[in-house]
Amino acid sequence: MGDAQSMSVERSINAYARARGVIAGGVNSSVRAFKAVGGSPVFVKSGSGATICDLDGHEYIDYVLSWGPLLLGHAHPAVVKAVASAAARGTSFGAPTEAETELAELICAMVPSIERIRFTSSGTEASMSAVRLARGYTRREKILKFSGCYHGAADPFLIAAGSSALTLGVPNSPGVTRGTAADTITVPYNDRDAVSEAFASNAGEIAAVIVEPYAGNMGLVLPKPGFLSHLRDLCARDRTLLIFDEVMTGFRVARGGAQEREAVRPDLTLLGKVIGGGLPVGAFGGREDVMSYLSPDGPVFHAGTLSGNPVAMAAGVATLRIVRDDPQLYGRLEVLTGLLTAGLGEILSKHGVAHQTARAGSMWGLFFAEEPVADLASAMKSDTALYAKYFHAMLGLGIWLAPSQFEAAFVSAAHTTRDVERTLSAADAAMRAMAASEASR
């Protein structure tokens, strides 16, 4: 591990300057620019198991894991072999392959609410396609979403959005039309009364409720008991479709996702991240009668040149076969994540730092906040300046965290108890260094 005060990232700095000459903002996803924590972004050269290595040769224990997809860790041998084999046969055909069916069968077998599925190339595409389908099926126009939940970068979802839109302080993005905003009802996450009032004010007009069952894009915020079942009841009563955005939680918190853990069955589910094994994949699926409204069988249009790309399908199949065949996988991940969050909590308490932790399966979150975090308003009370200092201190000690307070973190099957011990040691050292720095000012 490196030293928080002396770690050189000269090659990353030069790489960023080069990127800014040809890439807008120097990055291809906003949060990567380190705007929320300051400094110049670190460029990654390689990854293996639970670690990544930057251009300057520094190694880090990785808790970002490409923002969630790498359930098995970096460059898992089975995934690498599957990708290489598929690529050797051809990278894209624009025609059906059996790999698409095999991945679909694996998903449908493990997620009971999904009877039929369609693949896309990203979670954003899956989100916008599912909403179009919901509108076509219900013949309604309005959707209801929750402040701080992020469903990709399509216009309807950038109203009070989370993730990098929240990080950059522009949750209502310029370029989203008034008409789009008018069709999007936004209420606080975990607020049952607000949802009930929205349904009462828009009876018979809401096509779908879309929600992250475990919100992971304002930090990890878990649902209060009964919140998700309340959504299910309201949607059933008003003939509104309930869409669970499990792009992040799908195969991450349980074999059947958050819906398995919470015993709430949505009408449609969005997937991505883990199902691609680290390659670009999204999907949406659900009830057969709803999915039958998609073209070519139904009137709602959906298409995509690289949907079901054979290389991505191969990576997904390799990943989900391991998920299917390892009955102890999620138990191990749950234990390891619990050890990590409990240890971090003890260290921060020892140093007198106000904090909140959350975990579900192999997802976890840490807020520098005085009060429990249950929604966007309480998440925004977090001490982001303190998080920025903590982030850089941990980075210098070889721990790779999200460059934003408002992102979930992850543990992979490649992480070990030794990795957790090293992380906790780094966290204690980071706190001591931060305290010493403040004392010397």
- For 321, half-sphere exposure in the C-beta direction (CA atoms, 13 angstrom radius) is 13
Tokens of 111: 């997620």
Query: Known catalytic residue: 224?
Result: no
Residue 144 backbone dihedrals phi, psi, to 5 degrees:
-115, 125
Question: CB burial class (10 A; 0-12, 13-18, 19+) of residue 66?
Answer: middle
Helix or strand or coil: residue 187? strand
Query: Known catalytic residue: 383?
Result: no
CA-CA distances (angstroms) from residue 289 to 128, 241, 307?
19, 12, 22
Catalytic residue, candidates 273, 389, 390, 419:
273
Tell the residue number behind the tokens 């999915």, with chain if given: 291
**Quick count: other Cβ atoms within 10 Å of Cβ 122?**
19
DSSP β-ladder status, 206-211 and 399-400: unpaired
Query: Known catalytic residue: 273?
Result: yes
Tokens of 178: 């008034």
CA-CA distances (angstroms) from residue 434 to 185, 389, 431?
42, 7, 5
Tokens of 204: 């018979």
CA-CA distances (angstroms) from residue 373 to 21, 190, 221, 357?
40, 10, 7, 9
**Quick count: other Cβ atoms within 10 Å of Cβ 228?**
22
Catalytic residue, candidates 16, 60, 137, 150:
150
CA-CA distances (angstroms) from residue 357 to 14, 67, 422?
36, 18, 19
Catalytic residue, candidates 245, 267, 375, 428:
245
Tell the residue number behind the tokens 């624009």, with chain if given: 94
Query: What are the b/e assignments for 389-420, b being 16+ CB within 10 Å?
Result: bbbbbbbbbbbbbbbbbbbbbbbbbbbeeebb
H-state helical runs in 146-243: 163-167, 178-182, 192-201, 227-238
Q: Which helix (H) or strand (E) holds 400?
A: strand 399-400
In angstroms, rounded to a whole number, what is the distance separating the alpha carbons of residues 363 and 358? Answer: 8
Closest CA to 358 of 300, 415, 409: 409
C-beta separation of 257 from 269 below 8 A? yes
**Quick count: other Cβ atoms within 10 Å of Cβ 354?**
14
Closest CA to 118 of 317, 323, 295, 310: 295
As annotated, the active-site residues are 150, 245, 273
